Structure 1
Amino acid sequence: MADYILSEELKEAVQVAEITKRPLLLKGEPGTGKTLLASFLAETKKLPFYRWHIKSTSLAKEGLYFYDAVSRLNDSRFPEEEAMIRVRDVKNYIRLGALGEAFQQPNKAVVLIDEIDKADIEFPNDLLLELDKMEFFIPETKEHIIAKERPIVIITSNNEKELPDAFLRRCIFHYIEFPKRESMKEIIKAHFPSIETEFMEKALAMFYSIRKIESLRKKPSTSELLDWIQVLLVSGESLESNKIPFAGTLFKSEDDYRVYLN
Protein backbone atom coordinates (compact mmCIF):
# COMPACT_ATOMS: atom_id res chain seq x y z
CA MET A 1 0.00 0.00 0.00
CA ALA A 2 2.59 2.51 -1.17
CA ASP A 3 -0.21 4.96 -1.93
CA TYR A 4 -1.23 5.31 1.75
CA ILE A 5 0.02 8.63 3.14
CA LEU A 6 0.75 8.45 6.87
CA SER A 7 0.64 11.89 8.49
CA GLU A 8 3.07 12.81 11.26
CA GLU A 9 0.20 13.05 13.76
CA LEU A 10 -1.08 9.60 12.89
CA LYS A 11 2.44 8.17 12.93
CA GLU A 12 2.84 9.54 16.45
CA ALA A 13 -0.48 7.99 17.56
CA VAL A 14 0.62 4.59 16.23
CA GLN A 15 3.93 4.91 18.07
CA VAL A 16 2.18 5.77 21.35
CA ALA A 17 -0.17 2.77 20.96
CA GLU A 18 2.78 0.44 20.35
CA ILE A 19 4.74 1.78 23.32
CA THR A 20 1.78 1.56 25.71
CA LYS A 21 0.54 -1.70 24.11
CA ARG A 22 -2.99 -0.34 24.05
CA PRO A 23 -5.53 -0.48 21.19
CA LEU A 24 -5.54 2.57 18.90
CA LEU A 25 -9.06 3.97 18.52
CA LEU A 26 -9.50 6.01 15.34
CA LYS A 27 -12.31 8.41 14.58
CA GLY A 28 -12.78 10.76 11.64
CA GLU A 29 -14.92 11.36 8.58
CA PRO A 30 -15.58 8.36 6.31
CA GLY A 31 -12.85 8.16 3.69
CA THR A 32 -10.02 9.55 5.83
CA GLY A 33 -8.12 6.25 5.88
CA LYS A 34 -9.10 4.81 9.27
CA THR A 35 -9.65 1.29 7.99
CA LEU A 36 -6.70 1.30 5.59
CA LEU A 37 -4.23 2.11 8.37
CA ALA A 38 -4.35 -1.44 9.77
CA SER A 39 -3.55 -3.13 6.45
CA PHE A 40 -0.86 -0.50 5.80
CA LEU A 41 0.83 -1.31 9.12
CA ALA A 42 0.60 -5.04 8.49
CA GLU A 43 2.12 -4.65 5.03
CA THR A 44 4.95 -2.29 6.00
CA LYS A 45 5.83 -4.26 9.15
CA LYS A 46 5.32 -7.60 7.35
CA LEU A 47 2.91 -8.88 10.01
CA PRO A 48 -0.15 -11.19 9.75
CA PHE A 49 -3.38 -9.21 9.37
CA TYR A 50 -6.80 -10.12 10.80
CA ARG A 51 -9.91 -8.06 10.11
CA TRP A 52 -13.09 -8.18 12.18
CA HIS A 53 -15.84 -6.13 10.54
CA ILE A 54 -18.53 -5.29 13.11
CA LYS A 55 -22.25 -5.43 12.30
CA SER A 56 -25.29 -4.44 14.35
CA THR A 57 -25.76 -8.12 15.26
CA SER A 58 -22.10 -8.81 16.16
CA LEU A 59 -21.24 -10.31 19.54
CA ALA A 60 -17.91 -9.79 21.30
CA LYS A 61 -17.41 -13.56 21.58
CA GLU A 62 -17.31 -13.89 17.76
CA GLY A 63 -13.96 -12.15 17.57
CA LEU A 64 -12.52 -14.68 20.00
CA TYR A 65 -13.96 -18.03 18.94
CA PHE A 66 -17.05 -19.77 17.55
CA TYR A 67 -18.35 -23.23 18.44
CA ASP A 68 -19.65 -24.79 15.22
CA ALA A 69 -22.40 -26.93 16.72
CA VAL A 70 -24.19 -27.30 13.37
CA SER A 71 -21.18 -28.98 11.73
CA ARG A 72 -20.81 -31.28 14.72
CA LEU A 73 -24.45 -32.29 14.54
CA ASN A 74 -24.16 -32.88 10.81
CA ASP A 75 -21.04 -35.05 11.24
CA SER A 76 -22.78 -37.13 13.92
CA ARG A 77 -25.22 -38.40 11.26
CA PHE A 78 -22.45 -40.46 9.65
CA PRO A 79 -21.68 -43.81 11.33
CA GLU A 80 -18.14 -44.16 9.96
CA GLU A 81 -15.53 -44.59 12.70
CA GLU A 82 -13.47 -41.63 11.46
CA ALA A 83 -16.48 -39.32 11.62
CA MET A 84 -17.44 -40.50 15.12
CA ILE A 85 -13.88 -39.98 16.41
CA ARG A 86 -14.01 -36.45 15.08
CA VAL A 87 -17.41 -35.77 16.65
CA ARG A 88 -16.26 -36.91 20.10
CA ASP A 89 -13.58 -34.22 20.24
CA VAL A 90 -15.23 -30.80 20.56
CA LYS A 91 -11.93 -29.11 19.66
CA ASN A 92 -12.57 -30.04 16.04
CA TYR A 93 -15.51 -27.64 16.01
CA ILE A 94 -13.92 -24.60 17.60
CA ARG A 95 -13.19 -21.84 15.09
CA LEU A 96 -11.06 -18.93 16.24
CA GLY A 97 -12.08 -15.36 15.41
CA ALA A 98 -9.80 -12.47 14.42
CA LEU A 99 -8.51 -11.84 17.95
CA GLY A 100 -8.24 -15.53 18.70
CA GLU A 101 -6.16 -16.13 15.57
CA ALA A 102 -3.88 -13.20 16.43
CA PHE A 103 -3.39 -14.49 19.98
CA GLN A 104 -2.24 -17.83 18.59
CA GLN A 105 0.40 -16.28 16.34
CA PRO A 106 3.96 -16.92 17.57
CA ASN A 107 4.87 -13.36 16.59
CA LYS A 108 3.11 -10.00 16.60
CA ALA A 109 0.07 -9.51 14.33
CA VAL A 110 -2.23 -6.63 13.38
CA VAL A 111 -5.95 -6.83 14.21
CA LEU A 112 -8.55 -4.44 12.81
CA ILE A 113 -11.84 -4.11 14.70
CA ASP A 114 -13.72 -2.11 12.10
CA GLU A 115 -16.68 0.18 12.90
CA ILE A 116 -17.09 -0.88 16.52
CA ASP A 117 -19.87 1.69 17.01
CA LYS A 118 -22.23 -0.32 14.77
CA ALA A 119 -22.66 -2.98 17.46
CA ASP A 120 -24.81 -2.93 20.59
CA ILE A 121 -23.74 -0.41 23.26
CA GLU A 122 -22.53 -3.25 25.51
CA PHE A 123 -20.27 -4.72 22.84
CA PRO A 124 -17.15 -2.65 23.75
CA ASN A 125 -17.58 -3.44 27.45
CA ASP A 126 -17.74 -7.15 26.63
CA LEU A 127 -14.21 -6.91 25.22
CA LEU A 128 -12.62 -5.03 28.12
CA LEU A 129 -10.86 -8.01 29.71
CA GLU A 130 -9.75 -9.54 26.42
CA LEU A 131 -8.26 -6.28 25.13
CA ASP A 132 -6.71 -5.43 28.48
CA LYS A 133 -5.25 -8.83 29.40
CA MET A 134 -5.04 -10.26 25.86
CA GLU A 135 -6.49 -13.59 26.95
CA PHE A 136 -9.81 -15.47 26.99
CA PHE A 137 -11.35 -18.78 28.07
CA ILE A 138 -13.14 -21.37 25.90
CA PRO A 139 -15.64 -23.20 28.18
CA GLU A 140 -16.37 -25.94 25.64
CA THR A 141 -12.74 -27.14 25.66
CA LYS A 142 -11.63 -25.71 29.03
CA GLU A 143 -8.81 -23.93 27.19
CA HIS A 144 -7.25 -20.70 28.40
CA ILE A 145 -5.97 -18.80 25.34
CA ILE A 146 -3.25 -16.25 26.12
CA ALA A 147 -1.64 -14.08 23.46
CA LYS A 148 1.86 -15.30 22.70
CA GLU A 149 2.72 -11.81 21.46
CA ARG A 150 0.47 -8.81 22.10
CA PRO A 151 -1.01 -7.77 18.73
CA ILE A 152 -1.33 -4.23 17.38
CA VAL A 153 -5.08 -3.56 17.63
CA ILE A 154 -6.64 -0.83 15.47
CA ILE A 155 -10.27 0.05 16.24
CA THR A 156 -12.33 2.36 14.04
CA SER A 157 -15.50 4.28 14.86
CA ASN A 158 -17.75 6.54 12.78
CA ASN A 159 -19.33 8.11 15.88
CA GLU A 160 -22.70 6.42 15.34
CA LYS A 161 -22.81 5.69 19.09
CA GLU A 162 -20.97 6.96 22.13
CA LEU A 163 -18.46 4.43 23.40
CA PRO A 164 -18.36 3.55 27.13
CA ASP A 165 -15.87 5.44 29.31
CA ALA A 166 -14.35 2.21 30.64
CA PHE A 167 -13.57 1.18 27.09
CA LEU A 168 -12.17 4.58 26.11
CA ARG A 169 -9.81 4.55 29.10
CA ARG A 170 -8.15 1.44 27.71
CA CYS A 171 -7.50 2.95 24.28
CA ILE A 172 -5.16 5.48 22.70
CA PHE A 173 -7.40 7.92 20.82
CA HIS A 174 -6.69 9.75 17.59
CA TYR A 175 -9.01 11.80 15.40
CA ILE A 176 -7.96 11.83 11.75
CA GLU A 177 -8.58 15.31 10.41
CA PHE A 178 -9.80 15.63 6.83
CA PRO A 179 -6.71 16.22 4.66
CA LYS A 180 -5.87 19.82 3.92
CA ARG A 181 -5.13 20.82 0.34
CA GLU A 182 -1.37 20.21 0.42
CA SER A 183 -1.80 16.81 2.04
CA MET A 184 -4.48 15.93 -0.50
CA LYS A 185 -2.04 16.72 -3.31
CA GLU A 186 0.33 14.11 -1.90
CA ILE A 187 -2.48 11.56 -1.76
CA ILE A 188 -3.53 12.27 -5.35
CA LYS A 189 0.05 12.06 -6.65
CA ALA A 190 0.53 8.76 -4.84
CA HIS A 191 -2.46 7.34 -6.75
CA PHE A 192 -1.90 9.19 -10.04
CA PRO A 193 1.85 9.88 -10.37
CA SER A 194 1.60 11.33 -13.89
CA ILE A 195 -1.32 13.69 -13.25
CA GLU A 196 -0.87 17.20 -14.65
CA THR A 197 -0.50 19.89 -12.00
CA GLU A 198 -2.96 22.29 -13.62
CA PHE A 199 -5.63 19.63 -13.92
CA MET A 200 -5.10 18.55 -10.29
CA GLU A 201 -5.38 22.14 -9.06
CA LYS A 202 -8.67 22.65 -10.91
CA ALA A 203 -10.09 19.41 -9.55
CA LEU A 204 -9.05 20.30 -6.00
CA ALA A 205 -10.50 23.82 -6.26
CA MET A 206 -13.84 22.38 -7.34
CA PHE A 207 -13.73 19.62 -4.71
CA TYR A 208 -12.96 21.92 -1.76
CA SER A 209 -15.54 24.47 -2.88
CA ILE A 210 -18.13 21.68 -2.68
CA ARG A 211 -16.98 20.68 0.80
CA LYS A 212 -17.46 24.26 2.02
CA ILE A 213 -21.22 23.96 1.49
CA GLU A 214 -22.48 23.50 5.05
CA SER A 215 -25.94 22.23 4.10
CA LEU A 216 -24.69 19.09 2.37
CA ARG A 217 -25.83 15.97 4.17
CA LYS A 218 -22.75 14.02 3.09
CA LYS A 219 -19.70 15.91 1.95
CA PRO A 220 -17.56 14.07 -0.61
CA SER A 221 -14.60 12.29 0.96
CA THR A 222 -11.10 11.39 -0.19
CA SER A 223 -12.24 8.11 -1.74
CA GLU A 224 -14.90 9.93 -3.78
CA LEU A 225 -12.34 12.49 -4.94
CA LEU A 226 -9.97 9.75 -6.10
CA ASP A 227 -12.78 7.94 -7.93
CA TRP A 228 -13.83 11.21 -9.59
CA ILE A 229 -10.30 12.01 -10.74
CA GLN A 230 -9.91 8.50 -12.13
CA VAL A 231 -13.14 8.85 -14.13
CA LEU A 232 -12.05 12.27 -15.41
CA LEU A 233 -8.64 10.99 -16.50
CA VAL A 234 -10.01 7.90 -18.24
CA SER A 235 -12.80 9.81 -19.99
CA GLY A 236 -10.59 12.74 -20.96
CA GLU A 237 -13.20 15.17 -19.63
CA SER A 238 -11.94 18.69 -18.98
CA LEU A 239 -12.82 21.01 -16.11
CA GLU A 240 -13.14 24.18 -18.13
CA SER A 241 -16.72 25.02 -17.08
CA ASN A 242 -18.28 25.38 -13.63
CA LYS A 243 -20.44 22.34 -14.27
CA ILE A 244 -19.28 19.18 -12.50
CA PRO A 245 -18.87 16.25 -14.90
CA PHE A 246 -19.78 12.83 -13.51
CA ALA A 247 -21.39 14.44 -10.46
CA GLY A 248 -22.71 11.09 -9.27
CA THR A 249 -19.15 10.17 -8.29
CA LEU A 250 -19.04 12.99 -5.74
CA PHE A 251 -22.65 13.29 -4.59
CA LYS A 252 -24.46 10.39 -2.98
CA SER A 253 -27.98 11.83 -3.03
CA GLU A 254 -30.19 13.91 -5.30
CA ASP A 255 -30.79 16.38 -2.46
CA ASP A 256 -27.07 17.11 -2.07
CA TYR A 257 -26.68 17.63 -5.81
CA ARG A 258 -29.60 20.07 -5.80
CA VAL A 259 -28.05 21.93 -2.86
CA TYR A 260 -24.88 22.33 -4.89
CA LEU A 261 -26.75 23.57 -7.98
CA ASN A 262 -28.58 26.16 -5.92
Structure 2
Amino acid sequence: MRFAGSDTYVAPPDLAIAVNAAVTLERPLLVKGEPGTGKTELARQVAASLGLPIIEWSIKSTTKAQQGLYEYDAVSRLRDSQLGDARVNEVGHYIRRGKLWQAFEAPEKVVLLIDEIDKADIEFPNDLLQELDRMEFHVYETGETVAAIHRPIVIITSNNEKELPDAFLRRCFFHYIRFPDAETLKRIVEVHYPGLKPRLLEAALSQFLELREAPGLKKKPSTSELLDWLKLILAEDLSPEDLKREPGEMLPKLHGALLKNEQDVALFEKLAFMARRQGR
Protein backbone atom coordinates (compact mmCIF):
# COMPACT_ATOMS: atom_id res chain seq x y z
CA MET A 1 0.00 0.00 0.00
CA ARG A 2 1.54 3.27 -1.15
CA PHE A 3 0.17 6.77 -0.69
CA ALA A 4 0.94 9.43 -3.29
CA GLY A 5 -1.84 11.96 -2.81
CA SER A 6 -5.08 11.92 -4.73
CA ASP A 7 -7.12 13.85 -7.27
CA THR A 8 -8.55 15.95 -4.46
CA TYR A 9 -5.50 16.26 -2.18
CA VAL A 10 -2.10 17.62 -3.18
CA ALA A 11 0.54 15.79 -1.14
CA PRO A 12 4.11 17.15 -1.42
CA PRO A 13 6.73 14.40 -1.91
CA ASP A 14 8.05 14.70 1.65
CA LEU A 15 4.56 14.19 3.08
CA ALA A 16 3.91 11.12 0.92
CA ILE A 17 7.29 9.71 2.03
CA ALA A 18 6.37 10.28 5.69
CA VAL A 19 3.02 8.49 5.32
CA ASN A 20 4.57 5.49 3.58
CA ALA A 21 7.45 5.32 6.08
CA ALA A 22 5.01 5.24 9.01
CA VAL A 23 3.00 2.49 7.30
CA THR A 24 6.16 0.45 6.65
CA LEU A 25 7.45 0.90 10.22
CA GLU A 26 3.97 0.28 11.66
CA ARG A 27 4.38 3.38 13.79
CA PRO A 28 1.82 6.12 14.45
CA LEU A 29 2.35 9.10 12.14
CA LEU A 30 2.42 12.31 14.17
CA VAL A 31 1.58 15.25 11.91
CA LYS A 32 2.10 18.83 13.06
CA GLY A 33 1.57 22.11 11.22
CA GLU A 34 -0.37 25.35 11.21
CA PRO A 35 -4.15 25.03 11.59
CA GLY A 36 -5.72 24.77 8.16
CA THR A 37 -2.83 23.00 6.42
CA GLY A 38 -4.80 19.80 5.82
CA LYS A 39 -3.68 17.56 8.69
CA THR A 40 -7.11 16.08 9.39
CA GLU A 41 -7.91 15.79 5.70
CA LEU A 42 -4.65 13.89 5.21
CA ALA A 43 -5.96 10.94 7.23
CA ARG A 44 -9.19 10.88 5.22
CA GLN A 45 -7.28 11.00 1.96
CA VAL A 46 -4.91 8.24 3.05
CA ALA A 47 -7.90 6.06 3.85
CA ALA A 48 -9.60 6.85 0.54
CA SER A 49 -6.40 6.39 -1.46
CA LEU A 50 -5.64 3.00 0.10
CA GLY A 51 -9.28 1.89 0.02
CA LEU A 52 -9.54 1.54 3.81
CA PRO A 53 -12.28 2.53 6.27
CA ILE A 54 -11.46 5.38 8.65
CA ILE A 55 -12.28 5.72 12.34
CA GLU A 56 -12.01 9.29 13.65
CA TRP A 57 -11.42 10.21 17.28
CA SER A 58 -11.65 13.98 17.78
CA ILE A 59 -9.91 15.02 20.98
CA LYS A 60 -11.26 17.72 23.31
CA SER A 61 -9.84 19.30 26.44
CA THR A 62 -11.98 16.95 28.56
CA THR A 63 -11.15 13.76 26.65
CA LYS A 64 -9.48 10.98 28.64
CA ALA A 65 -7.37 8.20 27.14
CA GLN A 66 -9.61 5.57 28.74
CA GLN A 67 -12.51 6.77 26.56
CA GLY A 68 -10.59 5.60 23.51
CA LEU A 69 -10.44 2.08 24.95
CA TYR A 70 -13.82 1.65 26.64
CA GLU A 71 -16.10 3.09 29.31
CA TYR A 72 -17.83 1.09 32.01
CA ASP A 73 -21.30 2.42 32.86
CA ALA A 74 -21.52 1.48 36.53
CA VAL A 75 -24.44 3.87 37.13
CA SER A 76 -26.69 2.10 34.60
CA ARG A 77 -25.75 -1.28 36.03
CA LEU A 78 -26.63 -0.12 39.56
CA ARG A 79 -29.96 1.24 38.35
CA ASP A 80 -30.78 -1.99 36.52
CA SER A 81 -29.91 -4.04 39.59
CA GLN A 82 -32.34 -1.97 41.65
CA LEU A 83 -35.01 -2.62 39.02
CA GLY A 84 -34.30 -6.33 38.98
CA ASP A 85 -33.11 -6.36 35.38
CA ALA A 86 -31.49 -9.70 34.48
CA ARG A 87 -28.89 -7.98 32.32
CA VAL A 88 -26.88 -6.98 35.39
CA ASN A 89 -25.34 -10.45 35.42
CA GLU A 90 -23.68 -9.72 32.06
CA VAL A 91 -21.06 -7.00 32.60
CA GLY A 92 -20.53 -6.66 28.85
CA HIS A 93 -23.89 -4.92 28.51
CA TYR A 94 -22.42 -1.94 30.34
CA ILE A 95 -19.18 -1.65 28.40
CA ARG A 96 -19.10 1.06 25.71
CA ARG A 97 -16.38 0.43 23.17
CA GLY A 98 -14.09 3.34 22.31
CA LYS A 99 -12.45 4.25 19.03
CA LEU A 100 -9.31 2.18 19.66
CA TRP A 101 -11.41 -0.88 20.48
CA GLN A 102 -13.39 -0.35 17.27
CA ALA A 103 -10.16 -0.10 15.27
CA PHE A 104 -8.66 -3.18 16.95
CA GLU A 105 -11.69 -5.39 16.34
CA ALA A 106 -12.34 -4.23 12.76
CA PRO A 107 -12.39 -7.21 10.35
CA GLU A 108 -10.01 -5.36 7.99
CA LYS A 109 -7.17 -2.87 8.34
CA VAL A 110 -8.43 0.67 9.06
CA VAL A 111 -7.02 4.17 9.35
CA LEU A 112 -7.38 5.48 12.91
CA LEU A 113 -7.28 9.27 13.17
CA ILE A 114 -6.54 10.75 16.61
CA ASP A 115 -7.25 14.38 15.85
CA GLU A 116 -5.71 17.32 17.75
CA ILE A 117 -4.07 15.29 20.51
CA ASP A 118 -2.53 18.45 21.98
CA LYS A 119 -5.96 19.63 23.15
CA ALA A 120 -6.07 16.97 25.85
CA ASP A 121 -4.38 16.86 29.23
CA ILE A 122 -0.60 16.41 29.19
CA GLU A 123 -0.97 12.85 30.55
CA PHE A 124 -3.23 11.80 27.66
CA PRO A 125 -0.43 10.73 25.27
CA ASN A 126 1.41 8.82 28.03
CA ASP A 127 -1.77 6.96 28.92
CA LEU A 128 -1.92 5.54 25.39
CA LEU A 129 1.74 4.51 25.10
CA GLN A 130 1.34 0.79 25.73
CA GLU A 131 -1.91 0.43 23.79
CA LEU A 132 -0.48 2.06 20.65
CA ASP A 133 2.80 0.18 21.02
CA ARG A 134 1.48 -3.31 21.73
CA MET A 135 -1.86 -2.86 19.93
CA GLU A 136 -3.76 -4.48 22.79
CA PHE A 137 -5.30 -3.62 26.15
CA HIS A 138 -6.97 -5.35 29.07
CA VAL A 139 -10.62 -4.93 30.08
CA TYR A 140 -10.59 -5.30 33.85
CA GLU A 141 -14.36 -5.58 34.27
CA THR A 142 -14.63 -8.63 32.01
CA GLY A 143 -11.10 -10.01 32.29
CA GLU A 144 -10.59 -10.10 28.52
CA THR A 145 -7.67 -8.81 26.48
CA VAL A 146 -8.54 -6.94 23.29
CA ALA A 147 -5.81 -7.29 20.65
CA ALA A 148 -5.82 -5.78 17.18
CA ILE A 149 -6.90 -8.24 14.49
CA HIS A 150 -5.17 -6.02 11.93
CA ARG A 151 -2.73 -3.32 13.01
CA PRO A 152 -4.42 -0.01 12.07
CA ILE A 153 -2.65 2.85 10.32
CA VAL A 154 -2.61 5.47 13.09
CA ILE A 155 -2.43 9.15 12.15
CA ILE A 156 -2.19 11.65 15.01
CA THR A 157 -2.52 15.40 14.44
CA SER A 158 -1.31 18.26 16.60
CA ASN A 159 -1.53 22.05 16.29
CA ASN A 160 1.50 22.36 18.58
CA GLU A 161 -0.51 23.99 21.37
CA LYS A 162 1.53 22.09 23.94
CA GLU A 163 4.63 19.91 24.00
CA LEU A 164 4.12 16.15 23.81
CA PRO A 165 6.05 13.78 26.12
CA ASP A 166 9.38 12.42 24.86
CA ALA A 167 8.31 8.82 25.52
CA PHE A 168 5.33 9.32 23.23
CA LEU A 169 7.39 11.04 20.53
CA ARG A 170 9.85 8.14 20.46
CA ARG A 171 7.07 5.81 19.38
CA CYS A 172 5.91 7.99 16.47
CA PHE A 173 7.14 8.86 13.01
CA PHE A 174 7.08 12.64 12.90
CA HIS A 175 6.30 15.02 10.04
CA TYR A 176 5.76 18.77 10.02
CA ILE A 177 3.57 20.04 7.18
CA ARG A 178 5.23 23.23 5.99
CA PHE A 179 3.10 25.96 4.53
CA PRO A 180 2.90 25.40 0.75
CA ASP A 181 4.97 27.51 -1.62
CA ALA A 182 3.31 29.51 -4.41
CA GLU A 183 3.47 26.70 -6.98
CA THR A 184 1.97 24.15 -4.59
CA LEU A 185 -0.76 26.65 -3.67
CA LYS A 186 -1.62 26.94 -7.36
CA ARG A 187 -1.95 23.16 -7.59
CA ILE A 188 -4.17 23.10 -4.50
CA VAL A 189 -6.38 25.85 -5.92
CA GLU A 190 -6.62 24.00 -9.25
CA VAL A 191 -7.93 20.93 -7.41
CA HIS A 192 -10.71 22.93 -5.74
CA TYR A 193 -11.43 25.51 -8.46
CA PRO A 194 -10.36 24.01 -11.78
CA GLY A 195 -10.12 26.45 -14.65
CA LEU A 196 -9.69 29.55 -12.50
CA LYS A 197 -8.48 32.38 -14.73
CA PRO A 198 -4.68 32.75 -14.41
CA ARG A 199 -4.75 36.54 -13.97
CA LEU A 200 -7.30 36.30 -11.18
CA LEU A 201 -5.33 33.54 -9.47
CA GLU A 202 -2.07 35.51 -9.72
CA ALA A 203 -3.69 38.65 -8.29
CA ALA A 204 -5.33 36.75 -5.43
CA LEU A 205 -2.23 34.73 -4.54
CA SER A 206 -0.06 37.83 -4.62
CA GLN A 207 -2.28 39.60 -2.08
CA PHE A 208 -2.65 36.46 0.04
CA LEU A 209 1.10 35.84 0.30
CA GLU A 210 1.76 39.52 0.95
CA LEU A 211 -0.78 39.38 3.78
CA ARG A 212 0.88 36.27 5.31
CA GLU A 213 4.31 37.89 5.26
CA ALA A 214 3.21 41.02 7.11
CA PRO A 215 5.35 41.41 10.28
CA GLY A 216 3.48 41.32 13.57
CA LEU A 217 0.56 39.23 12.30
CA LYS A 218 -0.95 37.25 15.19
CA LYS A 219 -2.64 34.58 13.07
CA LYS A 220 -1.45 34.03 9.53
CA PRO A 221 -4.21 32.99 7.09
CA SER A 222 -4.05 29.31 6.18
CA THR A 223 -4.65 27.31 3.02
CA SER A 224 -8.25 26.66 4.01
CA GLU A 225 -8.81 30.40 4.47
CA LEU A 226 -7.32 31.07 1.05
CA LEU A 227 -9.83 28.63 -0.47
CA ASP A 228 -12.70 30.31 1.42
CA TRP A 229 -11.54 33.71 0.16
CA LEU A 230 -11.37 32.49 -3.44
CA LYS A 231 -14.86 31.03 -3.10
CA LEU A 232 -16.15 34.46 -2.08
CA ILE A 233 -14.24 36.16 -4.92
CA LEU A 234 -15.85 33.79 -7.42
CA ALA A 235 -19.29 34.17 -5.83
CA GLU A 236 -18.97 37.98 -6.12
CA ASP A 237 -17.63 37.59 -9.68
CA LEU A 238 -14.68 39.86 -8.92
CA SER A 239 -12.04 40.51 -11.55
CA PRO A 240 -8.29 41.11 -11.04
CA GLU A 241 -9.04 44.83 -11.37
CA ASP A 242 -11.65 44.58 -8.59
CA LEU A 243 -9.01 43.15 -6.27
CA LYS A 244 -6.74 46.14 -6.72
CA ARG A 245 -6.53 48.28 -3.61
CA GLU A 246 -6.86 52.00 -3.58
CA PRO A 247 -3.71 54.03 -2.75
CA GLY A 248 -3.15 53.87 1.00
CA GLU A 249 -5.33 50.78 1.45
CA MET A 250 -3.74 47.70 3.00
CA LEU A 251 -6.66 45.35 3.58
CA PRO A 252 -7.74 43.16 0.65
CA LYS A 253 -11.35 42.88 -0.47
CA LEU A 254 -13.42 40.51 1.69
CA HIS A 255 -10.61 40.39 4.23
CA GLY A 256 -12.92 38.81 6.86
CA ALA A 257 -12.24 35.44 5.22
CA LEU A 258 -8.50 35.84 5.82
CA LEU A 259 -8.05 37.81 9.05
CA LYS A 260 -9.76 36.26 12.05
CA ASN A 261 -9.06 38.63 14.93
CA GLU A 262 -9.34 42.34 15.60
CA GLN A 263 -5.63 42.76 16.42
CA ASP A 264 -4.61 41.77 12.89
CA VAL A 265 -7.26 44.00 11.29
CA ALA A 266 -6.08 46.89 13.49
CA LEU A 267 -2.49 46.18 12.43
CA PHE A 268 -3.32 46.66 8.75
CA GLU A 269 -5.43 49.72 9.47
CA LYS A 270 -2.43 51.21 11.29
CA LEU A 271 -0.12 50.34 8.39
CA ALA A 272 -2.56 51.99 6.00
CA PHE A 273 -2.72 55.11 8.17
CA MET A 274 1.09 55.33 8.25
CA ALA A 275 1.28 54.85 4.48
CA ARG A 276 -1.21 57.68 3.91
CA ARG A 277 0.78 60.01 6.19
CA GLN A 278 3.99 59.25 4.37
CA GLY A 279 2.29 59.87 1.04
CA ARG A 280 1.28 63.42 1.92
Structure-1-length-normalised TM-score = 0.94
The answer to whether structure 1 residue 38 and structure 2 residue 43 are counterparts is: yes
Partner of residue 54, structure 1? 59
- Partners in 2 of 1:2 and 1:87 — Cα distance? 51
Partner of residue 255 from structure 2, selected from 244, 247, 256? 247
Q: Which secondary structure state, in structure 1, belongs to the residue aligned with residue 52 of structure 2? A: coil
- Partners in 2 of 1:40 and 1:253 — Cα distance? 31
Partner of residue 203, structure 1? 204
- Partners in 2 of 1:249 and 1:72 — Cα distance? 50
Does the 8 Å CA contact 1:106/1:149 hold for their aligned counterparts? yes
Partner of residue 193, structure 1? 194
Query: How far off is 1:3 after superposition?
Result: 1.8
- Partners in 2 of 1:206 and 1:149 — Cα distance? 48
Does the 8 Å CA contact 1:23/1:172 hold for their aligned counterparts? yes
Structure 1 stretch 24-33 or stretch 68-77: which is displaced more?
Answer: 68-77
The answer to whether structure 1 residue 258 and structure 2 residue 266 are counterparts is: yes
- Partners in 2 of 1:199 and 1:163 — Cα distance? 42
Query: How far off is 1:17 after superposition?
Result: 0.4
Q: Which secondary structure state, in structure 1, belongs to the residue aligned with residue 138 of structure 2? A: strand
- Partners in 2 of 1:248 and 1:164 — Cα distance? 37
Q: Which amino acid aligns with 2:253?
A: P
- Partners in 2 of 1:105 and 1:159 — Cα distance? 31
Query: How far off is 1:184 after superposition?
Result: 0.4
Query: How far off is 1:47 after superposition?
Result: 1.3
Does the 8 Å CA contact 1:237/1:245 hold for their aligned counterparts? no
Query: How far off is 1:53 after superposition?
Result: 1.1
Partner of residue 157, structure 2? 156
Structure 1, residues 62-83: CA drift from partner, whole Å, max 9, x if none?
111111334434544655xxxx
- Partners in 2 of 1:124 and 1:48 — Cα distance? 24
Aligned length: 258
Partner of residue 109, structure 1? 110
- Partners in 2 of 1:19 and 1:51 — Cα distance? 21
Query: How far off is 1:57 after superposition?
Result: 1.5
Structure 1, residues 10-62: CA drift from partner, whole Å, max 9, x if none?
11001110111000001111111111111111112221211111111211111
Structure number with bigger Rg: 2
- Partners in 1 of 2:267 and 2:216 — Cα distance? 7
Query: How far off is 1:258 after superposition?
Result: 2.0
Q: Which secondary structure state, in structure 2, belongs to the residue aligned with residue 124 of structure 1? A: helix
The answer to whether structure 1 residue 142 and structure 2 residue 104 are counterparts is: no
Q: Which amino acid aligns with 1:163?
A: L
- Partners in 1 of 2:179 and 2:216 — Cα distance? 18
Structure 1, residues 78-122: CA drift from partner, whole Å, max 9, x if none?
55xxxx232321101211111110000122111111111111111
State how 1:121-136 maps to structure 2 within 5 Å: 121-136=122-137
Structure 1 stretch 36-45 or stretch 21-30: which is displaced more?
Answer: 36-45
RMSD value over aligned CA atoms?
Answer: 1.5
State how 1:71-90 maps to structure 2 within 5 Å: 71-76=76-81, 78-79=83-84, 84-90=85-91
Partner of residue 22 from structure 2, selected from 17, 34, 39? 17
- Partners in 2 of 1:139 and 1:179 — Cα distance? 47
The answer to whether structure 1 residue 212 and structure 2 residue 216 are counterparts is: no
Q: Which amino acid aligns with 2:52?
A: L
Does the 8 Å CA contact 2:221/2:259 hold for their aligned counterparts? yes
Does the 8 Å CA contact 2:212/2:220 hold for their aligned counterparts? yes
Structure 1 gap ranges (5+): none
Does the 8 Å CA contact 1:118/1:160 hold for their aligned counterparts? yes
Structure-2-length-normalised TM-score = 0.88
